[in-house]
Amino acid sequence: MTRQIRLGVFTVAGCGLAAFLLWGLAGLPGFGHYHWPYGNVLNQVAPNERHTSNVVGAVVFDYRGFDTLGEEFILFSAVVGVSLLLRKDREEAAPADRVRSDPIMATGAVAAALLFVLGLWVVAFGYVTPGGGFQGGVVLAGAFLLVYLTGGYREYHALTPHSPVEMAEAIGAGAFAILGFAGIAYAGSYLGNFLGIGDAGSLYSGGSIPLLNWATAVEVCAAMILLFSEFLKTYVIPTDDWRPELGPR
């Protein structure tokens, strides 16, 4: 199919799509005129039922926890897919870019440490204030990526050895699924909330939400690190004294 034919087909299909989009969107209530019951009900009951102040967190890890389980495994299988797709590229030669400026490395080390603490905070208070395992996990992984950006692949690799990170990802995803079975045993339903709901507004609140929150954070952080690592590995050159697979020798 040539470019012209393809664009021609797209123009016809695009006009049809645009018409359907406009038709569908015009049927929605006006912006701000929300009148569906589900969100209102959750906003009413979640703070009392679960003692979480962040209702989004309660939806993700409790009321719709089963969806989040699926989401975790979407991420998990994507990481497996990426590492399979990039597996053979390991030994390809490409320029190894190393930061040599001391001020940049020092600033980067401080910034990475601060980012790591910020990530822990976003995870820990995810069900009290805005945040949560997904968001915090990505921030935590960002701290490791910052080590690569302001240091080099060597430092990054030393901080994120492959097998422990892989194990952490599996443990995070597995813990979420197993906590679901604990819900069957103690609360009567898969991913049921089986712990005491604690005090609203404190870290001890939300029942099993904090556990699922941390399991997610571990899984997301490890998954993002594995994604970065797989892409970075296609980009580093093995040198005489050091190889990504073996470390210094």
Partner 1 sequence: MSYLPYALAAWLFVVGLYGVVSSRNLIHLAVCLTVMQSGTYVLLLAIGYKNGGAAPIFRPTRHKAVDPVVQALTLTDIVVSVTVVALILALALGAHKESGSVNPDEIADFSG
The yes or no reply on residue 201 touching partner 1 (CB under 8 A) is yes
Among 4, 5, 12, 34, binds partner 1 (CB under 8 A): 34
If one counts every other C-beta atom within 10 angstroms of the C-beta of residue 25, the result is 8
Among 186, 231, 239, 245, binds partner 1 (CB under 8 A): 231
Which of 200, 199, 220, 211 has its CA nearest to residue 119? Answer: 220
Q: Which stretch binds partner 1 (CB under 8 A): 74-82, 155-163, 168-176, 207-215?
A: 74-82
Among 50, 53, 123, 150, binds partner 1 (CB under 8 A): 53
Residue 179 CB, shortest distance to partner 1, in Å, is: 18
User: Which tokens go with 83?
Assistant: 């590492």
Q: What is the DSSP letter of 87?
A: G
The yes or no reply on residue 185 touching partner 1 (CB under 8 A) is no
Angle at 48 between CA 42 and CA 51, to 5 degrees: 100
For tokens 């695009």, what's the residue? 14
β-bridge pairing 247-248 and 242-243? antiparallel
User: Which tokens go with 81?
Assistant: 């897919």
The answer to whether residues 240 and 150 touch, using CB atoms and an 8 Å cutoff, is no
Q: Which stretch binds partner 1 (CB under 8 A): 59-67, 106-114, 149-157, 207-215?
A: 59-67
CA distance 249 to 247: 6
Bridge partner residues of 198 (DSSP)? 205
Among 101, 189, 234, 239, binds partner 1 (CB under 8 A): 234
Among 196, 204, 230, 236, binds partner 1 (CB under 8 A): 230
Binding site for partner 1 (CB under 8 A): 3, 6-7, 10, 14, 17-18, 21-22, 25-26, 28, 30-34, 36, 38-40, 42-43, 46-47, 53-56, 58-60, 64, 67-68, 71, 74-75, 78-79, 81-82, 85-86, 89, 92, 128-130, 132, 134-135, 200-201, 227, 230-231, 234
